[in-house]
Structure 1
Amino acid sequence: MKIGIFFGGPSREREISFAGGRTVYDNLDKSLFEAVPVFVDSRGNFILLNWEYIYKGTIRDFYPPVSALPHTELPVQMYFESLGELSLEEQDRIILEVGRRVEPRELADLLDFAFLALHGPAGEDGAVQGLLEWYGIPYSGSGILPSAFGIDKIAQKKLLKALDRPTPDFRLITAEEWDAADPQATLEYLVRELGLPLVFKAPRQGSSIGISILREADVAKFATAVERSLFRKTVTQTEWQALSEQQKTVWLQQLVDIRDGIGLPVVLADSSELLAVGASLNDANSQQPTANSQHLIYQPEELLRALDTHLATTEAVRLTSMEGETQVLVESFVQGREFSCIVVEDAAGQPLALPPTEIVKGEEMFDYRSKYLPGLSRKITPIDLPEADIQRIREACEEMFRTFGFQVYARLDGFIGPDGKLFLNDPNTTSGMLPASFFFHQAAEIGLNPSQFLTFLIRTSLAARRRGGLRPVKLAGLLAQLDAAVAARASEERTRTKVAVIMGGYSSERHISVESGRNIYEKLSSSVKYEPVPVFLTGSSQEFRLYVLPINVMLKDNADDIREKVEYMEAGHALHPILERIRREAQGITSTFAGQPTAQPRRVSFEELAGMVDEVFIALHGRPGEDGALQRELERFGLPYNGSGVESSSITINKFETNKRLREAGLRVAEHRMAARLEWDADAESFYRSLETQFPYPFIAKPADDGCSSAVKKIKNRAELEAFTRLIFRSQEDLMPADATTLSLGFKEEFPQKEAFLVETLIDRDGAAHFLEVTGGLLTHWDENGQLKIEVFEASEALATGEVLSLEEKFLAGEGQNITPARYATDLMERQRVSEEVKQELRRVAEILHIQGYARIDAFVRVRQNGAVEVIIIEVNSLPGMTPATCIFHQTALAGYTPYDFIDRILEFGKQRTEKQIPTTHG
């Protein structure tokens, strides 16, 4: 059956949609379905996407393609809408670089079923559902009417009030009312009516976009919250002129971010125009200024120039998104425990609530980042309440599912107060589909892995569309065909290579390791060759503890959740009674779609592991994993593994030793030295002075023996040096708040404790004509003579939003900005010449450090006026991140490898190395 996966779209959630579409593409059962990727761009064009672009980190990494982008010096990537008004011919030229345009009338010939991974307006509002119905194409999820209702928070609130269902009290503010109102009086009215705190929402956006919480009666903060929900931004002359050029760039990056900012294009109105708008609101006969009479700005650089120009002469300007909102929904704050519950239809078409998940956080809001970045919030399934209360939540969610007429599945959010009172709000007819989202996380609790859950949803959606009267004869045939294929698949016996995928660990990159491990698991589990076995590693450097995980534990939110669940089960705690109940209720689903019943985590020794599996994929980052210790254990039991051997790994984990060896071999690296705690303990002042003498500010400080981006900081002054030193040498687990503030650490950013750290000179442009940061992957092969050959891929250019690339930017969907291949020059021949020189340097690094299998090397590249190329190596990762969004997959795609092909080559290399019994240590 041909499954068209619709992803991307025009909404502010397009990056999560893109990442979710990739998850669906990867996890569709290859023996049942053929995936057809239909990328929807921000103008609503349907594009049959070439497969290699599915594995880009973000939409902006490939669309619009570099050839279509205007020249800019700013490190800001643009979406398609920033290209301005384009003719159909110009759009087609751009589309042809990534795939081909599909007219809606062609869809019925291309696919049997549409799986909708689109979010927000034009995705889950009934619009695309109506288009598909017009052409008689069955699709996933709810139909037209419930979808339209599911996107409209105001309509939902009114119905809940009319039905006397508990929902927070609310008021509406229209944009026109806001422009004419006195903010102080409006705030006083809202506080009087709803109390504090107040919650502000954009009524037709999903995923916590445009949401704020106001905890105090502060007029300035109130205005900011209203503007956030309307997708506007007022900038004053004083604010703007106080910013440095670097700060303006960072401000701009945040503003054009469609998730946290307002995006582009924007209408710019200065003080005089805002007064004209206010006058027009008070005079019905007056003509309000239009977008055309003001300043419509499409591109970041254009916006920066306009702000500089206008704010030189006017007191304030207001920026309004062209895709903003016209109303703000203001709700009273509900004090209580927050939960989210996926409801599905069972085989009889009745709603079945899966175990609700509690979202555990501090005072902060459960916003877009908290939802999608591992480790930023805790998700506990089921919510920690008595069984009777959980059952009340489930029954309320099932009732709302029926009341709103939802079909197939929905995600319902709510609160339970200290008094036990339930509030349900913000139902979603499409849930986020990242590997560990609520969607898959809760399905795993009844024993369905992502691949099985998707099969169930496709089957249930076909039945729902047929019930709704869509082509009943044709859909009856499709249902019969799918049922027969599912039954045949369940009965067939397959002998597959068993691969232990080891993930987790105890480094500050443990959450990224789990993301990598899950991605490897999913790529292998939907293949016909491999049977992956998820294994979680915890413990310490003195004792590794290995646990074979069931699917529901593997899909917990992050490494800490997994470890907690493993320890809870190991302590002898029984399965939560609500889970037993739900699994019984779901037997009609799981008996058809699940391969095996859910189990408990089980501890195994290395010897037992060697008896269970044929080989190992190490998905760990930092220590342990990249340091050779785990490799030594696996070699003892003859288990083939991925990546470099013991000695090479023990060198590359140590950034100081890596730099030293590369410098001795004649390669360029930063000046560096180790800064030890003993030296600081003896005399802190001379410790600081010694570093300042050798390294003028700003310089880089980072752990020497951890993974890639953890606690890497640009140190600009003595206060920051002291804060960094105190944090990394601290004896307690918790961070010191004052020092964390000095270093501008992000929310829940990890900072390891070490006995020494590495200090390096800051690598800068140094007068070069062109300067960029790159990351390059490589893969090794044996040739026919048994010699090691190194294939170096085209490097990616990395754009950091902060002073250094963060962990999230490197690995998480929708976060990083990477351009592959790197833009060394505008002229193609010159770009290729520089690229070959860079690849040659990266190959030398791999040879000097005896790298095997695969690796990622980070570097800076300077291209001088005379064409000379300088490559300065930053670090080497012997087990690079393998999350779905990591740029190594962009690079392998250019070389013709799908992610699965790449993983397969890595595993085959490890197996051949063991068969050859080639030593992995070098004398």
Structure 2
Amino acid sequence: MKIGIFFGGTSREREISFAGGRTVYDNLDKALFEAVPIFVDSRGNFVLLDWQYIYKGTIRDFYPPVSALPASEHKMQVYLESLGDLTQQEQDQLISEVGRRVAPHELRELLDFAFLALHGPSGEDGAIQGLLEWYGIPYSGSGILPSAFGIDKIAQKKLLKALGRPTPEFRVITQEEWDVADPEATLAYLTRELGLPLVFKAPRQGSSIGVSILRDNDVAKFRAAVERSLFRKTVYRSEWAQFTERDKLAWVQQLTDIREGIGLPVVLDAVSPEQNASSQLPTADNAVLYHPEALLRALNEAFLTAEEVRLTNTDGETQVLVESFVHGREFSCIVVEDPNGQPLALPPTEIVKGEEMFDYRSKYLPGLSRKITPIDLPEADIQRIREQCEEMFRTFGFQVYARLDGFMTADGQLFLNDPNTTSGMLPASFFFHQAAEIGLNPSQFLTYLVRTSLAARRRAGMKPLQLANLLSKLDEAVAQRQQEDRPRTKVAVIMGGYSSERHISVESGRNIYEKLSSSAKYQPVPVFLTGSSQDFRLYVLPINVMLKDNADDIREKIEQHEAGHDLHPILQRIRREAEGITSTYAGQPTAQPRRISFEELAQEVDEVFIALHGRPGEDGALQTELEKYGLPYNGSGTASSSITINKFETNKRLREAGLRVAEHRMATRLQWEADPEGFYHELETAFPYPFIAKPADDGCSSAVKKIKTRGELLAFCRLIFRHQEDLLPDAATTLHLGFKEEFPQKDAFLVETLIDRDGAAHFLEVTGGLLTHWSENGELEIEVFEASEALATGEVLSLEEKFLAGEGQNITPARYAPDPTERQRISEEVKQELRRVAQILDIQGYARIDAFVRVRQTGAVEVIIIEVNSLPGMTPATCIFHQTALNGYTPYQFIDQILEFGKARQEKAALEAGE
């Protein structure tokens, strides 16, 4: 069955939709379905996307194509809308570089079924559903009416009120009312009616976009909250005048972000000193500004005369929903239809956080919030949540599945709000996380949803005979799939660990697991590593534990099981209720984590994929254990790994071999404790500010900081040399650590000179991947990929930019020069240097090498190596997959090559030992 996956879209949630569509594309059962990627661009065009672009980190990494981007002083990446009003012919030209345009009437020829991974307006509001209905194409999820209702938060609130269902008190402010209102009087009214705190929402947005909480009776914060939900922003000359040029650029970048800011295009209205606050001085005919740099120029020009400027997104909201704040336990519950068409609530998940809002960042970056399934409440209360969620599902006429959110207050009151007819589809989202609790892995759950959606469309009258035939064929294929008993290579995917990189390791491990599990060749076995460097503890994970939100949640489940905690009674109940689903679609029953020794692991699996980052995993210690039992593994061997884990030792070896690296030295706790003042003075003498400080053996941007002052150096030392687990609040503030940003404890750290342009004509940061092969005569061959250009919005690349879907900016291949021939010449020189690094360090399997590249006026190329990762991140959004795609490898094929190399190396070593 040809499944068209619709992803991307026109909404502000397009990046999460793009990442979710990729998850669906990868996890659809290849024995049952053929995936057809239908990318929807921000103009609403349907694009049959060339497969390699599916694995880009963000939409902006490939679309609009680099060739179509206007000249940009600051090299900003933009969405299609920033190119202005394009003709249909101009849009077709852009589309032709990434795939081909598909007219709506062509969809019937391309696909049998549409899986909708779209979010927000035009994705879950009935619009795309209506189009597919018109052409008679069955699709996933709810139909037109429930979708239109499911996106409208105000309509939902009114219906809940009319039905007498508990929901937070609310008021609505229209744009017209706000434009003439007295903010102080309006705030007083809302405070009197709803109390504080107040919650502000954009009525037709998801992913917490346009949402804010007002905790204080503060008119300025109130105005900002309303404007956030209307996607407006008022800027004052006094505020703008205090910004440096760099501050202005960062401000504009944040403002034009489609998730955190108001997005583009915008209209600029300026108020001059001579006018009163309610009158406006428009730019030329209220000119629409499409590009962030055009906005930057317009603001600088406007503030020559204006006291304040109001920016309004051309596609903003016209109403603001204001709710009273609910103090209670927050949860989210996926409801699905059972095989009889009745709603079945999966175990609700509690979202544990502090005072902060459950925003876009904490929803999608692992480790920032805790998600506990089922919610930690008495069984009767959990069952009440489930029953009310099932009732809301019926009341709103939802079909197939929905995600319902709510709160349980301390006095037992239950509030449901913000039902969604679709849900985020990242690997560990609520969607797959809760399905795993009844024993369905993502591939099996997607199969069930396709089947249930076909049945829902048929019940609604869409092509009854044709859909009956499709259902019959699918049921037959699923039954055959369950009876298959093909031998597959068992691969232990080891993830987790105990370093600051453990959450990213879990993301990598899950991605490897999912790529292998949807293949016919491999049977992956998820294994979690915890413990310490002296005591590795391995656990085979059931699917429901592997899909917990992050490494800490997985470890907690293991500890609970070892402490003798029985399976939660509500889970036992739900699993019984779901037997009609799991008996047909689940491959194995749910289980508990199981402790396993290395010896037992060697008896159960054929080979190992190490998905760990930093220590342990990249330091050779785990490799040593695996070699004892003859288990093939991915990546470099023990000796090479023990060098590349240490950035200081890596730099030293490369410098001795004649490669360029930063000036560097280790700074130790012993020196710092013995004579802090002498310690600081010695570092400042050798490394003038600013310089880079970072751990020598951690990756994933963990604690990498640009140190600009003595105060920042002192704060860095206090944090990295601290004895207690908790961070020191004042030092964390000095270094501007993000919410829940981890900072490791070490006995030493690495200090490096800051690599800068140094007068070069062109200067950029790149990250390049490589893959090794055995030649026919047994020699090691190194295939170096085109490097990616990494664009950091801050002082160094952040964890989010590397791993959060839609956050990072990577251009692949790197833009070394505008002229294609010159670009390729420079690229070959860079690749040759990266190959030398691999040869010097005896890197095997695969790796990622980070470097700075300077291109001099003469054309001379300088490559300064930053670090080497022998087990690079393998998350869905990582740029190594963008690079392998250019060489024709899908992510699965790349992983397969890595595993095959490890197996061949093991066989080669065994032969040599025998000789």
TM-score range, shorter chain: over 0.9
Counterpart AA for 1:240: W
SS of corresponding position for 2:699: coil
Tell me how far 1:695 sits from its aligned partner. Answer: 0.5
Cα distance in 2, alignment partners of residues 469 and 587 from structure 1: 28
Q: RMSD across aligned C-alpha pairs, in angstroms?
A: 1.4
Cα distance in 2, alignment partners of residues 716 and 919 from structure 1: 55
Q: Give the counterpart of 1:511 among 499, 503, 525.
A: 503
Q: Give the counterpart of 2:742 among 750, 774, 785.
A: 750
Cα deviations by residue, 1:690-719 (Å, 9 ceiling, x for unpaired): 100001111000001112410000001000
Counterpart AA for 1:390: I
SS of corresponding position for 1:385: coil
Report the equivalent of 2:376.
384
Cα deviations by residue, 1:819-861 (Å, 9 ceiling, x for unpaired): 0000000000000000000000000000000000000000000
Cα distance in 1, alignment partners of residues 284 and 131 from structure 2: 31
Cα deviations by residue, 1:548-607 (Å, 9 ceiling, x for unpaired): 000000000000000000110111110000000000000000001001110110000000
Report the equivalent of 1:584.
576
Report the equivalent of 2:186.
186
SS of corresponding position for 2:587: coil
Cα distance in 1, alignment partners of residues 252 and 213 from structure 2: 23
The equivalences for 1:394-405 within 5 A come to 394-405=386-397
Report the equivalent of 2:107.
107
Tell me how far 1:811 sits from its aligned partner. Answer: 2.0
Report the equivalent of 2:223.
223
Cα distance in 1, alignment partners of residues 439 and 745 from structure 2: 38
Report the equivalent of 2:418.
426
Tell me how far 1:610 sits from its aligned partner. Answer: 0.2
Report the equivalent of 1:283.
none
Cα distance in 2, alignment partners of residues 129 and 761 from structure 1: 56
Cα distance in 2, alignment partners of residues 114 and 334 from structure 1: 38
Cα deviations by residue, 1:629-670 (Å, 9 ceiling, x for unpaired): 000000000000000000100000000000000000000000
Q: Give yes or no for contact 1:646–1:920 (8 Å, CA) kept in 2.
A: no
SS of corresponding position for 1:199: strand
Report the equivalent of 1:904.
896
Cα distance in 2, alignment partners of residues 269 and 73 from structure 1: 25
Cα distance in 2, alignment partners of residues 275 and 204 from structure 1: 35
Tell me how far 1:312 sits from its aligned partner. Answer: 2.2
Cα distance in 2, alignment partners of residues 651 and 487 from structure 1: 51
Cα distance in 2, alignment partners of residues 489 and 171 from structure 1: 53
Counterpart AA for 1:40: V
Cα deviations by residue, 1:371-429 (Å, 9 ceiling, x for unpaired): 11100100000000010000000000000000000000000000000000000000000
Report the CA distance shift for 1:28/1:273 in structure 2 as closer, same or farther (over 3 A).
Answer: farther
Report the equivalent of 2:11.
11
Tell me how far 1:277 sits from its aligned partner. Answer: 9.9
Q: Any stretches of 5+ residues in structure 2 without a counterpart?
A: none
Report the equivalent of 1:575.
567
SS of corresponding position for 1:32: coil
Report the CA distance shift for 1:351/1:592 in structure 2 as closer, same or farther (over 3 A).
Answer: same
SS of corresponding position for 2:145: helix
Cα distance in 2, alignment partners of residues 829 and 395 from structure 1: 65
Q: Give yes or no for contact 1:621–1:879 (8 Å, CA) kept in 2.
A: yes
Cα deviations by residue, 1:242-263 (Å, 9 ceiling, x for unpaired): 1111111211221111000111
Report the equivalent of 1:134.
134
Q: Give yes or no for contact 2:10–2:40 (8 Å, CA) kept in 1.
A: yes
Q: Give the counterpart of 1:303 among 272, 295, 301.
A: 295
Cα distance in 2, alignment partners of residues 602 and 29 from structure 1: 27
The equivalences for 1:259-270 within 5 A come to 259-270=259-270
SS of corresponding position for 1:810: helix
Cα distance in 1, alignment partners of residues 82 and 626 from structure 2: 52
Cα distance in 1, alignment partners of residues 76 and 191 from structure 2: 39
Q: Give yes or no for contact 2:335–2:343 (8 Å, CA) kept in 1.
A: yes
Report the CA distance shift for 1:245/1:919 in structure 2 as closer, same or farther (over 3 A).
Answer: farther
Counterpart AA for 2:170: F
Counterpart AA for 2:321: L
Tell me how far 1:74 sits from its aligned partner. Answer: 1.5
Q: Which runs of 4+ in 1 moved over 3 A?
A: 272-280, 289-292, 918-921
Aligned-residue sequence identity (percent) comes to 82
Cα distance in 2, alignment partners of residues 868 and 238 from structure 1: 46
Q: Give yes or no for contact 1:645–1:920 (8 Å, CA) kept in 2.
A: no
Report the CA distance shift for 1:769/1:20 in structure 2 as closer, same or farther (over 3 A).
Answer: same
Cα distance in 2, alignment partners of residues 185 and 502 from structure 1: 59
Residue 52 of structure 1 pairs with residue 52 of structure 2:
yes
Report the equivalent of 1:331.
323
SS of corresponding position for 1:205: coil
Report the equivalent of 2:719.
727
Report the CA distance shift for 1:909/1:160 in structure 2 as closer, same or farther (over 3 A).
Answer: same
Report the equivalent of 1:39.
39
Counterpart AA for 1:320: T
Cα distance in 2, alignment partners of residues 591 and 254 from structure 1: 49
Cα distance in 1, alignment partners of residues 694 and 891 from structure 2: 31
Report the equivalent of 2:820.
828
Report the equivalent of 1:168.
168
Cα distance in 2, alignment partners of residues 75 and 624 from structure 1: 38
Tell me how far 1:920 sits from its aligned partner. Answer: 12
Counterpart AA for 2:692: I
Residue 410 of structure 1 pairs with residue 402 of structure 2:
yes
Cα distance in 1, alignment partners of residues 76 and 855 from structure 2: 21
The equivalences for 1:65-104 within 5 A come to 65-104=65-104
Q: Give yes or no for contact 2:172–2:320 (8 Å, CA) kept in 1.
A: yes
Cα distance in 2, alignment partners of residues 763 and 37 from structure 1: 41
Report the equivalent of 2:237.
237
SS of corresponding position for 1:7: strand
SS of corresponding position for 2:285: coil
Q: Give the counterpart of 1:883 among 871, 875, 884.
A: 875
Report the equivalent of 2:433.
441
SS of corresponding position for 2:725: coil
The equivalences for 1:355-366 within 5 A come to 355-366=347-358
Q: Give the counterpart of 1:614 among 601, 606, 621.
A: 606
**TM-score of the superposition, structure 1-length normalised?**
0.98
Q: Give yes or no for contact 1:779–1:853 (8 Å, CA) kept in 2.
A: yes
Tell me how far 1:110 sits from its aligned partner. Answer: 0.3
Report the equivalent of 1:284.
none
Cα distance in 1, alignment partners of residues 109 and 539 from structure 2: 47
SS of corresponding position for 2:571: helix
Counterpart AA for 1:891: Q
Tell me how far 1:919 sits from its aligned partner. Answer: 11
Q: Any stretches of 5+ residues in structure 1 without a counterpart?
A: 281-288
Counterpart AA for 2:575: R
Tell me how far 1:886 sits from its aligned partner. Answer: 0.1
Cα deviations by residue, 1:314-361 (Å, 9 ceiling, x for unpaired): 111111111210111000000000000000000000000000000000
Cα distance in 1, alignment partners of residues 557 and 240 from structure 2: 49
Cα distance in 2, alignment partners of residues 622 and 713 from structure 1: 18
Report the CA distance shift for 1:728/1:596 in structure 2 as closer, same or farther (over 3 A).
Answer: same
Report the equivalent of 2:309.
317
Counterpart AA for 2:617: G
Counterpart AA for 1:30: K
